[in-house]
Chain A
Amino acid sequence: MKKLYLSCILLIPLFMSSQTDIDGIMMSKNNFCVGTVYQYSSWDKYWEGTFKRENLNLGTVSTKSIGLMGNYGLSDKLNILFSLPYVETNASAGTMKGQKGIQDLTLTVKYVPFEKKIGHTTYSLYALGSFSVPVTDYAADYLPLSLGLKSKTASLRLMGDVQSGNFFSTLSAAYIKRANITIDRNSYYTNNEVHYTNEVAMPDAISVNFRFGYRSNRLIAEAIIDSWTTQAGGFDITKNNMPFPSNTMNALKLGLNTKYTLKRIPELAVVGGYNFVTEGRNIGKSTAIYGGLFYVINFKKTEHDEKCTTKTCK
């Protein structure tokens, strides 16, 4: 039974504090994993276009967030996930007031269409479809202290995972489609023109994520490389200007994640991690640290001991 608990979601703090789960792990049928993660990220340098600079009128910009997350196994091959963060922003210098509030709800369907074991190696393929929607009326046009970009998004991610013994690697890529947003001004300047509308066209993005490391029933330790690239329709912050929601925002992140499932209470797992931006465009060079707890509730205990089909249940 304890073999199941490992499959509780491992969180990857993604770009702009939205978090989703893109690991090669599934919850077994009728298991519900719920947890909360606290994250602190901050930066004191940012890229204005490609120019890396500081801004003494912002000092250190920090984002604290606490997220509620869950993952339910509809079947061993089909999981439903959600996450909902509460976010607080702050600038250590200058006069600008930070913001706080609940950000975007993300719902994800995760499906394993293919899984094959050859020798000691398991190959599997995943498809993840996600929707995110802002749940409060926060202002997107308040960068860099806004809670988020407020765009409804939809994304499709394809992911391949290889596990050999206790070592694994996972590669995935997603296309993120973003809906237009409305802002509280009825005109704005971007891409060299004034636009006479309160609607802003948001550029789409492509996210690529690679992770590798150790994965056993008790412990996961992995390194990640994550790249986020804004597609056509995004523009640079011009010299000494304010950022704008439809700016191109690119980031290359490196990080470490760990997860430990308690021996005594195998329903409970502790997660923690660290990541930082190494290269970026129109974003802060942020460093983030997070930690959280997850708990697994099994709604149909009897079925489980046999019905473990994913590779984590070896």
Chain B
Amino acid sequence: MKNVLQKLVNKSLFVLLFAFSYSCSNDITERNENFTKLNPSNTDEAAGKWKTYLLTTPDEFSLDVPIATNTAAYTREINEIKSFQANITSEQKRIINYWAAGGVLRWNEIMRTLVARHNRPPYQNEDGTYPAPSSANPFDNPQFPFSNPPYAARAYAYVSAAQYDALVAAWHYKKLYNRAAPFTVDNNLQVLVPKSSLPSYPSEDAVLAGVTIELLKLLFPTEIAYIDGKAEEQKLYRIISGANVRSDVDAGIILGRKIAGKFINRAAGDGAGAAIGTPEYWSQLQTQTAATGEIPWKSQESPIRPPMLPLFGKVKSFLMSANDVIANRPVPPPSTKSEQFAKELAEIKRYSQNNSKKNMQIVTFWADGVGTYTPPGHWNAIAAESFAEQNYSEVRWARNMALLNIAMMDAAISCWDAKYTYFNPRPSQIDPSIKTTTGLPNFPSYVSGHSTFSGAACTVLSHIIPAKAKDYQAMATEASNSRMLGAIHYRSDCEKGLELGKAVGAFAVARAITDGAE
């Protein structure tokens, strides 16, 4: 009897262990592993004529005439492809599968990773002050940059706009030189990706790699080795897959790099470097708001942290003039002494006390706080997943991403302009019993950044994919509401923020209508 019991127990322990190993061996498939290889239904052959952001003409930067496809030198380039293919490794196959989903898409993902990696506020000094990241000494503590939402919005915009201009130039030269793709020249050549009917010189992927690495070196200087590694992969992918020969790729890198220079020059003078302000300016913001009889914003962090990028509202936009920013500035928030304000504060207190599971989920889903790719990154992820279904050409991918990201950079500019014009306190500052279910951002309340970004993004995306307009609208409203549910914003912040975002997004839509792509 005893033995039977013993055996039974031994067996059940064994079964138990086996059961866990089985139940826990679930591998995770991530959404970005499921993108199919880019195979555009429309190659946008005429994109060389689309309107650029900074290039005066698509051939502002020259590109050498390619060697002819009937030369021995060209044949050697074909042989290079064949020799790679003869000894292809599983790692090379992985690289091909990864990049074949699209260069704009993958660089956009890489950017989101870089933003998330650097989106961490500096840790305080011993004396309770905070060190500031320095682009001159990027490896110092804290590393440069702190890719907070405005920094990220601007970074996404520069890279996207530069990629777009570079691809317009690439399309121009493709048409001009009309050099056939290697698989057209040599019928025996294997092609490991969908064949494009476009001329292959210069390689669009190499143009993308060239322009992007130069901009990312500026924006994320501690990441150059990582960025170079990705660019090398992308170049290799084009050659091993048989989509381009080496000279297509080399030419693309050169062209991309030249075009990047124009954007780098613009970035140096757009005012973002000075957006952090000075201690004098920080205290001036306080006194000038107090002078109006309103309660000025105060950092709720300990030690007191300086406000985030108070002069970001002065950064030079791609599509809006300084006067446009002022003209679109929201009306002042309800006075902290008004009945309206008391009513809105009470509403937020209620959310703080009663946060249902559903509300918590909404707050968390849209939080996009420290250590994430920020709200603009979230909208990039949403856009990328939508665009991947649309079978766009690389140049249309770039154009749409540029419209989205320029609109969100303008949202950052306009929102920060409002925040530091009104310097309005957060709910928890006025009533410390208001506890939040997401991190309290260290900048003034009015208007909500999430709402402004989301209003702008949903306006642009709805124009690009009208069939999904309702979905984007619903997402924007939920993202905006999440800030009230998390008890960090008043209703006015969210509603006026959404309105502002939509107004800002309209500038990008106006451009979309006239850029030659529609």
Cβ-defined contact, A242 with B113, below 8 A: no
Q: Confirm or deny: B428 has a beta carbon within 8 angstroms of a beta carbon on chain A.
A: yes
Q: Is the CB of B28 within 8 A of A56?
A: no
Chain A nearest CB from B132 CB (Å) reads 14
A95 to B426 Cα, complex, angstroms: 11
| Number of chain A residues close to chain B: CB under 8 A | 50
Nearest-neighbour CB distance to chain A for B230, whole angstroms, equals: 12
List, in ascending order, chain A residues with CB within 8 A of B5's CB: 75, 77-78
Whether B303 and A197, one on each chain, are in contact in the complex, defined by CB atoms closer than 8 angstroms, is no
Question: Min CB distance, A176 to chain B, in Å?
Answer: 9
In angstroms, Cα B323 to Cα A151, docked, is: 54
Min Cβ gap A53→B in Å is 8
> In residues 105-128 of chain B, which contact A (Cβ within 8 Å)?
109, 112-113, 116-117, 120-123
Contacts of B352 in A (CB 8 A): 97
0/1 interface trace, chain B 14-38, chain A, CB 8 Å (1 if under): 0011011101101011111000000
Q: CA of A178 to CA of B21 in the docked complex: distance in angstroms?
A: 9
Stretch at the interface among A181-189, A207-215, A256-264: A181-189
* A68 CA to B349 CA, complexed, in Å: 34
Contacts of B28 in A (CB 8 A): 180, 195, 197, 199-201
Flag if A184 contacts B30 (CB, 8 Å).
no
Question: Would you call A97 and B355 a contact (CB within 8 A)?
Answer: yes
B13 lies within 8 A of A127 (CB): yes
B373 on the A face (CB < 8 A) = yes
Which chain B residues border A186 with CB–CB below 8 Å?
Answer: 31, 365
Q: Given the interface contacts A57-B301, A96-B435, does A197 sit within 8 Å of B29 by beta carbon? A: yes
Which B24-73 residues have a C-beta within 8 angstroms of A?
24, 26, 28-32
A104 within 8 A of B: no
Q: Is the CB of B303 within 8 A of A177?
A: no
A64 to chain B, nearest CB (A): 17
* Chain B residues whose C-beta falls within 8 Å of the C-beta of A93 in the assembled complex: 302
**A154 and B19 form a contact (CB under 8 A):** yes
Residues of B within 8 A of A178 (CB): 24
A195 touches B30 (CB 8 A): yes
| Chain B window 298-331, contacts with chain A (Cβ cutoff 8 Å), 1 for yes, 0 for no | 0011110000000000000000000000000000
12 contacts between A and B (CB under 8 A): A95-B300, A95-B440, A97-B435, A97-B487, A129-B13, A139-B364, A188-B372, A194-B373, A196-B381, A241-B120, A242-B370, A242-B371
Given contacts A97-B437, A187-B373, 17 further A-B contacts (CB under 8 A): A77-B6, A78-B5, A95-B488, A97-B436, A129-B17, A154-B23, A177-B21, A178-B24, A184-B360, A185-B367, A189-B113, A194-B112, A196-B32, A240-B122, A241-B120, A241-B370, A242-B370
